[in-house]
Structure 1
Amino acid sequence: MHRVGSAANNGNSNRPRKEKRLTYVLSDANDTKHCAGLNCLAVLQSSASDGCNYLFTGSRDGTLKRWALGEDAATCSATFESHVDWVNDTVIAGGSTLVSCSSDTTLKTWNCLSDGTCTRTLRQHSDYVTCLAAAEKNTNWVASGGLGGEVFIWDIEAAVTPLSKSSDVMEDDCSIGINGSANPLTISSLRTVSSNNSINASTKQCHIYVPITAKGHKESVYALAMNDSGTLLVSGGTEKVLRVWDPRTGSKTMKLRGHIDNTRALLLDSTGRYCLSGSSDSMIRLWDLGQQRCVHSYAVHTDSVWALASTPTFGHVYSGGRDLSLYLTDLTTRESILLCKKEHPILQLALDDDSIWVATTDSSVHRWPAEGQNPQKVFQRGGSFLAGNLSFSRARVSLEGTAPAPVYKEPIFTIPGTPAIVQHEILNNRRDVLTKLWDIIKGIVIEDYGQVAFDEKKEQLFEMVSIPSWFTVDARLGSLSVHLDTPQCFSAEMYSADLNITGKSEDDKVNLGRETLKGLLAHWMTKRRQRLGLQTPANGNVLSRKDTTPRSLAHSRIEVDGNALNDSTVYPPFELSTVSPPSIITEGSQGGPWRKKITELDGIEDEKDFPWWVLDCVLNNQLPSRENTKCSFYLHPCEGSAVQILTQGKLSAPRILRIQKVINYVKEKMVLDKPIDNLNTIGTFAPGIGGQLQHSAVGDGSFQSGLKPRQKLRPSVEILCNNQVLSPDMSLATVRAYIWKKPEDLVLNYRVIQGR
């Protein structure tokens, strides 16, 4: 399964340390839509302040959104972006605090009516956090559960209240809570997040808060429910049992057995007397906690039950799950009715007066009629059936083709999302990614092909070029996430002419990884210089090490490797989209992973927030030691050729060197036993002529570049490999990968041809 974070050395490990990575998530033009499935919903009823109802949605794209609700429409009024993985659940505590949990192992708190600012990050779980539960009346209590089998009960007000300490003491406490010898499952470290979600070393506060632990689960926890007063908590998961706790102490009061598969959804009535559970065994069960037993079982669904919602009186339950169906069931009469059929599995439900919001694995959310105040109106439409006691009874009905017809065909309205990316391919130029056609160094879609056959389009876009794999891509968050790891991300180079960079020599080599990092952090660099009172340099956004403050130098982890390649050429950063800017996901030396749009970086982030190698590249123009970027080859005359060249032995040149330059090298070094007709009509080696010496052999036989890579002179020399004539535009790396296809050093042959 996917894990967030970076690996570090174990105490006695001899393996090299894996450096922290930097990821940027590409955003499509419309940032007001989710681009992956919706895992959770929460409804905030209108308050006296604005009189508007709000819907909060949490998505697999790692964000939450707030929707201002109208009669038949919804408007996105804020995006809450800080989680670095799926948002799995969200609840509203105290009427104004939004609490979310994620597969990034954290809980985060937000002001419901803010512009999307994360107020605290709670790091306590050791694995994905899958579920939350809140007490309606005891507004401070929130419980969390996850795949690690842990259940924690949080006093949110106490957890997010910082202590008054000096900055030195706070930083020491933070290091103990996160990286020190203290048990990370006992001490929670909270990072103070500024108005734009960044973390400033000079304003960090570390508040040590210990949540209550409910110990007992040995396997994953998938569902939680808490009564209104916060005196009772029920949990369920893969152990097929329900556990009941006193959340004030974390003590277990009972264990209930009945389901034969995972428990995936739980509900408690306001008093805490009755509990509803939905399971992967397709059953819904009603439990009397006073009698400590199951009093009713409802066979309504034909597959796993993943979502439950009840009417205010707890007399009726709405249920959905893997069978794509939304049912309403009368808990007293056992009468059930199919409200609607969906195209995707149902993950969560939220009742809103006489309608119900339905979240599915699709990126859109739908509002359906529900008659929550008077559900009997739905049954009056007819088409109901009695829920059985055994799960196979509903499955048998489905197989016999007598499944009920849905009451509603269309939702009241839909909040549309952007379809998640389900297939992608990095093209051979190592710059474009096919979904739509994305240019990853500009962060934009350069062409939308509509509905076409993916494999056919991939074949059409194939280019015979060989460029090192300097980045990786996944679509886990529904959009493209581009991952940069050192030193691999610095392995690809191109000539400035191929990138259309003006004002530079055509033969200047551009490192794609370095220039992409500069583009990603261009806004941060500008803000940083403004904070330091420095002027922006004329040659771009690169800051030298002397620009850093004494404090940052004193605490810096950046050390320049004496073996690093110091390429002093600075190119303008690649311009990334500011209309739909990408978001950065990374982490530094403290505090764990974080996420923020590149245009929201404010210049106060430092080595505690960024990987050291990123800052070393952007601030100091330093690249790490890399694999050999040269290509060794032999250059021999074709069999029967009377032409020889002066150079002997093995040659070495950059992998991106064009065959045209090899042609010119051969022409310069030729020794002719007899004149060749028409040679001078194509090009001579006299001073000032285009065919004159542009590559000279140095002591080790290396090439030094100089000629234009795409010079369109009519060649008088042909270069061959494996008896195949090579195009002058091919690079040595391309020839080796597609023509030579052997592990040994490349062998090229040359021959002189008559002018035509």
Structure 2
Amino acid sequence: MHRVGSASNGNNSTRPRKEKRLTYVLNDSDDTKHCAGINCLALLTSVSSDGSDYLFTGSRDGRLKRWVLDVDRATCSATFESHVDWVNDAVLVGDSTLVSCSSDTNLKLWNALSFGTCTRTLRQHSDYVTCLAAAGKNSNIVASGGLGGEVFIWDIESAIAPVSKSNDATGDESSNGINGSGNLLPLTSLRTINSNDNMSMHTTQTQGYIPISAKGHKDSVYALAMNESGTILVSGGTEKVVRVWDTRSGSKTLKLRGHTDNIRALLLDSSGRYCLSGSSDSMIRLWDIGQQRCVHSYAVHTDSVWALASTPTFSHVYSGGRDFSLYLTDLQTRESSLLCTGEHPILQLALHDDNIWVASTDSSVRRWHAEGCNPEKIFQRGNSFLAGNLSFSRARVSLEGSTPVPVYKEPTLTILGTPAIVQHEVLNNKRHVLTKDASGSVKLWEITKGVVIEDYGK
């Protein structure tokens, strides 16, 4: 899928008019695949009559997809289309509601088990919405944060903002390349979704419901986490501190200081006492919120930490980031192992029994062995090392005295995507466009027909 946009004031009138932008989609031949980096993952386990587990993926191509998981394959069973910019995060509320956020400044609610039905659109943010956090399955509380420094706490059941036919329905039809009469829209120019091109005008929340605003951030928010009961929220961003909030009132209870760069990932244990944070300073920190202090720091990565996932008992943490590497660390003993390395920065992780799903800036999603039920098995394979506690003292030598090597060489399963278009040039006739994708392949498009007329290869 490739998204197309055009803008015009129309006619030859000299009267200033508000610029209108039209967006539509050119679908790839295999529309079951993502065609841009995967920003988020969400797992839904065994709620259907057939006992299947589902993986939801959100992409920079503006879409979410639902995958039915089997032992040796993943099958796309639904595509969720309504956002008009990057999908940045997604969480599940209960057994049937999927909540997503986007650089189009909106949150959207979906029937997770449907064929892509958007049930509500929530508008409150003034800038890109970058992150979400949800409480346990028995709670309706969801928090959202974004580049405007805003943090909102939503009661999903009370948020009565149905998709409006006059606004959202039109936007959804346009994003699918279809006008109100069911005909294909005319094609004029080609582009891919870019987080620097915000296409959605800000509209305040309607229908009377206003979420709780957690005020205090002065700059961008990149990470959120919530405890099981939904009473404690933690947030982090460019201010380099972890803020702790009471979700019932939106009041700030304390700040946790220690990181020296942006905070990009957060986790809370089920009780809300312990918090893990990952930062662009390459450090992972474990905080005791009751004692209001950092109790451990782990120097494992060589670059920014962007993704964290913990075992069910919060005894071990999986971490990934800009250094393309996935690590497992014992929070008590500090023992760490390099599970695998890839070719792209890691953006998000999702632990699924004894496996872990890894999302990256690539359009494919990979599943790796993780021994989530018994992580000590990883360390028994040898080649582990002790994590340092300062970034400049990072331990890079294993307990056996050699440089750590990845435990696993290949993923157990890969959900393949198609390469994203990273460069394009409109030719002089305004009908033909040259594109180059992430794999280096160059193609010539006939834009009025929406087809590739020449494939020049790499």
- Superposed CA offset, 1:83-103 (max 9, x none): 000000000011210000000
Residue identity over aligned pairs, in percent, reads 78
Task: For 1:390-469, list aligned pairs within 5 A.
Answer: 390-394=390-394, 403-435=403-435, 436-451=443-458
Tell me what 1:554 maps to: none
Other structure's SS at 1:448 match: strand
Q: Aligned-pair distance for 1:5? A: 12
Tell me what 2:124 maps to: 124
Tell me what 1:140 maps to: 140
The change in CA–CA distance for 1:445 and 1:402 in structure 2 (over 3 A counts) is farther
Task: For 1:13-162, list aligned pairs within 5 A.
Answer: 16-160=16-160
In structure 2, C-alpha distance between the alignment counterparts of 1:73 and 1:49, rounded to whole Å: 19
Other structure's SS at 1:90 match: strand
In structure 2, C-alpha distance between the alignment counterparts of 1:397 and 1:305, rounded to whole Å: 20
Structure 2-normalised TM-score? 0.85
Task: For 1:455-604, list aligned pairs within 5 A.
Answer: none
Other structure's SS at 2:421 match: coil
In structure 1, C-alpha distance between the alignment counterparts of 2:70 and 2:353, rounded to whole Å: 13
In structure 1, C-alpha distance between the alignment counterparts of 2:78 and 2:349, rounded to whole Å: 21
On the 8 A contact 1:137/1:229 being kept in 2, the answer is: no
Letter of the aligned partner of 1:328 in structure 2? L
Other structure's SS at 2:333 match: coil
Q: Aligned-pair distance for 1:430? A: 1.8
The change in CA–CA distance for 1:325 and 1:25 in structure 2 (over 3 A counts) is same
Letter of the aligned partner of 1:231 in structure 2? T
In structure 1, C-alpha distance between the alignment counterparts of 2:331 and 2:33, rounded to whole Å: 37
Q: Aligned-pair distance for 1:49? A: 2.4
Letter of the aligned partner of 1:411 in structure 2? P
Q: Aligned-pair distance for 1:437? A: 1.2
Task: For 1:275-286, list aligned pairs within 5 A.
Answer: 275-286=275-286
Q: Aligned-pair distance for 1:394? A: 2.6
In structure 1, C-alpha distance between the alignment counterparts of 2:8 and 2:263, rounded to whole Å: 33
In structure 1, C-alpha distance between the alignment counterparts of 2:370 and 2:127, rounded to whole Å: 36
- Superposed CA offset, 1:446-489 (max 9, x none): 122222xxxxxxxxxxxxxxxxxxxxxxxxxxxxxxxxxxxxxx
The change in CA–CA distance for 1:45 and 1:281 in structure 2 (over 3 A counts) is same
Tell me what 2:311 maps to: 311
Other structure's SS at 1:297 match: strand
Q: Aligned-pair distance for 1:428? A: 2.6
Q: How many residue pairs get matched? A: 413
The change in CA–CA distance for 1:47 and 1:24 in structure 2 (over 3 A counts) is closer
Which of the two has higher C-alpha Rg?
1
In structure 1, C-alpha distance between the alignment counterparts of 2:327 and 2:109, rounded to whole Å: 33
Q: Aligned-pair distance for 1:369? A: 0.3
Other structure's SS at 2:239 match: coil
Q: Aligned-pair distance for 1:397? A: 6.7
In structure 1, C-alpha distance between the alignment counterparts of 2:57 and 2:219, rounded to whole Å: 28
Structure 1-normalised TM-score? 0.52
Q: Aligned-pair distance for 1:440? A: 0.5
The change in CA–CA distance for 1:7 and 1:375 in structure 2 (over 3 A counts) is farther
Other structure's SS at 2:20 match: coil
Other structure's SS at 1:374 match: coil
The change in CA–CA distance for 1:310 and 1:247 in structure 2 (over 3 A counts) is same
On the 8 A contact 2:83/2:104 being kept in 1, the answer is: yes
On the 8 A contact 1:120/1:192 being kept in 2, the answer is: no
Tell me what 2:217 maps to: 217
On the 8 A contact 1:7/1:17 being kept in 2, the answer is: no
Q: Aligned-pair distance for 1:263? A: 0.3
In structure 2, C-alpha distance between the alignment counterparts of 1:211 and 1:91, rounded to whole Å: 17
Q: Aligned-pair distance for 1:193? A: 5.1
The change in CA–CA distance for 1:197 and 1:157 in structure 2 (over 3 A counts) is farther
In structure 2, C-alpha distance between the alignment counterparts of 1:253 and 1:377, rounded to whole Å: 39
In structure 1, C-alpha distance between the alignment counterparts of 2:139 and 2:422, rounded to whole Å: 40
- Superposed CA offset, 1:32-90 (max 9, x none): 00000000000100115231100000000000000011111011111101100000000
On the 8 A contact 2:383/2:402 being kept in 1, the answer is: no
In structure 1, C-alpha distance between the alignment counterparts of 2:228 and 2:84, rounded to whole Å: 31
- Superposed CA offset, 1:11-40 (max 9, x none): xxx993342121333222110000000000
The change in CA–CA distance for 1:18 and 1:130 in structure 2 (over 3 A counts) is same
On the 8 A contact 1:118/1:197 being kept in 2, the answer is: no
Letter of the aligned partner of 1:385 in structure 2? F
On the 8 A contact 1:120/1:193 being kept in 2, the answer is: no
Query: Structure 2: any 5+ residue segments left out of the alignment?
Result: 181-204, 436-442
Tell me what 1:361 maps to: 361
In structure 2, C-alpha distance between the alignment counterparts of 1:6 and 1:315, rounded to whole Å: 53
RMSD, aligned CA: 2.7
On the 8 A contact 1:147/1:222 being kept in 2, the answer is: yes
- Superposed CA offset, 1:652-686 (max 9, x none): xxxxxxxxxxxxxxxxxxxxxxxxxxxxxxxxxxx
Q: Aligned-pair distance for 1:427? A: 2.1
The change in CA–CA distance for 1:193 and 1:229 in structure 2 (over 3 A counts) is farther
Letter of the aligned partner of 2:454 in structure 1? E
On the 8 A contact 2:100/2:107 being kept in 1, the answer is: yes
In structure 1, C-alpha distance between the alignment counterparts of 2:6 and 2:259, rounded to whole Å: 35
Q: Aligned-pair distance for 1:206? A: 5.5
Higher mean Cα deviation, 64-73 or 206-215?
A: 206-215
The change in CA–CA distance for 1:153 and 1:5 in structure 2 (over 3 A counts) is farther
In structure 1, C-alpha distance between the alignment counterparts of 2:94 and 2:169, rounded to whole Å: 21
On the 8 A contact 2:356/2:368 being kept in 1, the answer is: yes
The change in CA–CA distance for 1:237 and 1:327 in structure 2 (over 3 A counts) is same
Tell me what 2:199 maps to: none
Other structure's SS at 2:243 match: strand
Q: Aligned-pair distance for 1:431? A: 1.0
Q: Aligned-pair distance for 1:421? A: 1.2
Other structure's SS at 1:239 match: coil
Tell me what 1:495 maps to: none
In structure 2, C-alpha distance between the alignment counterparts of 1:246 and 1:137, rounded to whole Å: 19
Letter of the aligned partner of 2:410 in structure 1? E
Letter of the aligned partner of 1:78 in structure 2? A
In structure 2, C-alpha distance between the alignment counterparts of 1:269 and 1:339, rounded to whole Å: 23
On the 8 A contact 1:103/1:127 being kept in 2, the answer is: yes
- Superposed CA offset, 1:118-159 (max 9, x none): 111111100000000000144210000000000000011111
On the 8 A contact 1:152/1:213 being kept in 2, the answer is: yes
The change in CA–CA distance for 1:309 and 1:192 in structure 2 (over 3 A counts) is same
Letter of the aligned partner of 1:276 in structure 2? L
In structure 2, C-alpha distance between the alignment counterparts of 1:379 and 1:74, rounded to whole Å: 29
